[in-house]
C-alpha cells in the first residue's frame, strides 16, 4: 500500500479567480477581521477573505464605515494574514486613504501591503477614483473594485436602499465596471443593485463579478460574517441568508456561565488545581 502525502495547499490568487470565472466555478468570499475567525473561514475552504471596513460597524460599533483608519485596517489585515494559508486576502482601503489624491492612495496602499502582507486591496468607486486605481496598479498591487451601494459614500446617497434602479445610474455603473476592467482590476464587488443589471455586467466583463445583494447571475458571492452567522440580529436585509444563530448561542452560553458562577457550580472539583 503506498502512502500519499497530503495534497499541497494551492494558494488562491487573483489569476485563479479569473480561471474560476472561465470555468464557471462560483467564487466564495466572506469577511474576517481577526486571527481566530480567519483561521476557521480559511480551513472551511472559502476562496477569498475580505478584511472589510465593515469592521467599523461590526467590530468598532460605528454607524458607518467612514471612521475606519488606515492603522485600524492594517491591524485587522495583519491579524487575518497570520491565520490564512489558502484564501486570497483582500484588505479594504479605508475612507480618506485614496480618494482625490493618487500620491496619497499609493502611499496608503504600500503601507497596507508592507505592514499586513495582504494579497490584494479593494477600493470603492469608478471613474472618480481612476487615477488612484491606476497609480496603485502601476506599483504591482492587485485591486478589486466596488460599485453600486458603496458604503463610504453613504452621506451622498442618504440611504442604504438598492442602487442603480434608474437608467442613468445603471449606465454609469456599467461604464465604471468597464473602466475598472480596462485599467487592470482583478475583480469587482457589486453591492445591492438589481440582479439583472449585475448579470449584465458579469456577462460583459471577463474579470469576476462578486455580488452582495446583486442576485445569482454573477460569478461569486460575499457576505459579512457577523451577518451570515446571525450575530447581528437587528439587521435583516432581503439579500441576507443566515447560516447560524450565533446571537442566541452566545447569549445563552453567557447566561448559563453567569448562573453557574453565581451559584458556585463553576468551577467544580475537576475544574481546579
Ligand atoms: O466592508 C465590507 O464588508 C464590504 C462588503 C460588504 C463587500 O465591503
Which domains does the chain show, CATH number per domain? 3-242 (3.20.20.60), 244-273 (no CATH)
235 close to 221: Cβ distance less than 8 angstroms: no
pLDDT averaged over 10-residue windows placed end to end, the chain, 273 residues: 66 98 98 98 98 98 98 98 98 98 98 98 98 98 98 97 98 98 98 98 98 98 98 92 98 98 98 97
What are the two backbone dihedrals, phi and then psi, of residue 11, each rounded to the nearest 5 degrees? -60, 135
Q: Which mutation among 32, 55, 92 tests ligand 1's pocket best, with the greatest number of atoms within 8 A of CB? A: 92
pLDDT for the residue 2: 52
- Please indicate whether residue 124, judged by its CB atom, sits closer than 6 Å to ligand 1: no
pLDDT for the residue numbered 211: 98
Secondary structure class of 209 (helix, strand, coil): strand
Task: State in Å: Cα 73 to ligand 1 middle.
Answer: 13
Q: How far apart are the C-alpha atoms of 115 and 86, rounded to whole Å?
A: 19
Backbone φ and ψ for 30, nearest 5 degrees, come out as -135, 155
Which atom number of ligand 1 is nearest to the Cα of residue 53?
1
What's the Cα-to-Cα distance from 139 to each of 86, 105, 107, rounded to whole Å? 24, 11, 10
Contact assessment for residue 47 and residue 220, using Cβ atoms and an 8 Å cutoff = yes
Q: Is 42 in the pocket of ligand 1 (CB under 6 A)?
A: no
Expressed in angstroms and rounded, the spacing between residue 189 Cα and the centre of ligand 1 is 9
CA distances to 36, 174, 200 from 17, rounded to whole Å, are: 25, 21, 19
Would you say 189 and 163 are in contact if contact means Cβ atoms under 8 Å apart?
no
Burial 2-14 (b: 16+ CB within 10 A, else e): eeeeeeeeeebeb
What is the 183 CA–ligand 1 centroid distance (Å)?
A: 22
DSSP state of 188: E
Residue positions annotated with a catalytic role: 191
Q: What local confidence, expressed as pLDDT, does residue 106 receive?
A: 98
What confidence score (pLDDT) does residue 65 get? 98
pLDDT at site 235: 87
SS3 216: coil
- Give the integer Cα–Cα distance in Å for 91 and 32: 10
Residues at the binding site are 53-54, 92, 122, 124
d(CA 51, CA 78): 10
Amino acid at each position: 500500500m503506498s502512502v500519499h502525502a497530503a495534497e499541497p495547499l494551492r494558494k488562491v490568487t487573483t489569476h485563479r479567480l479569473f480561471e474560476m470565472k472561465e470555468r464557471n466555478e462560483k467564487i466564495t468570499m466572506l469577511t474576517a477581521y481577526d486571527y481566530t475567525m480567519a483561521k476557521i473561514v480559511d480551513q472551511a475552504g472559502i476562496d477569498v477573505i475580505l478584511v472589510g471596513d465593515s469592521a467599523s460597524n461590526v467590530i468598532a460599533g460605528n454607524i458607518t464605515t467612514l471612521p475606519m483608519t488606515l492603522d485600524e485596517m492594517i491591524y485587522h489585515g495583519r491579524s487575518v494574514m497570520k491565520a490564512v494559508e489558502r484564501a486570497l486576502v483582500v484588505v479594504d482601503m479605508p475612507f480618506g486613504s485614496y480618494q482625490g489624491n493618487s500620491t496619497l492612495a499609493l502611499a496608503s496602499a504600500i503601507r497596507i501591503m508592507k505592514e499586513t502582507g495582504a494579497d490584494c486591496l479593494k477600493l470603492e468607486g469608478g471613474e472618480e477614483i481612476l487615477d488612484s486605481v491606476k497609480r496603485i496598479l502601476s506599483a504591482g498591487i492587485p485591486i478589486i473594485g466596488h460599485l453600486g451601494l458603496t458604503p463610504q459614500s453613504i452621506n451622498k446617497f442618504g440611504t442604504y436602499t438598492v442602487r442603480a434602479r434608474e437608467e442613468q445610474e445603471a449606465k454609469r455603473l456599467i461604464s465604471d465596471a468597464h473602466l475598472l476592467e480596462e485599467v487592470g482590476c482583478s475583480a469587482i464587488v457589486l453591492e445591492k443593485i438589481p440582479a439583472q443589471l449585475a448579470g449584465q455586467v458579469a456577462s460583459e466583463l471577463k474579470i469576476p463579478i462578486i455580488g452582495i445583494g446583486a442576485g445569482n447571475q454573477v460569478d461569486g458571492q460575499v457576505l459579512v460574517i457577523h451577518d451570515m452567522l446571525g450575530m447581528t440580529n437587528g439587521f435583516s436585509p432581503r439579500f441576507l441568508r443566515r447560516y447560524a444563530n450565533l446571537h442566541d448561542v452566545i447569549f445563552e452560553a453567557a447566561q448559563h456561565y453567569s448562573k453557574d458562577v453565581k451559584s458556585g457550580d463553576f468551577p467544580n472539583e475537576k475544574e481546579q488545581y
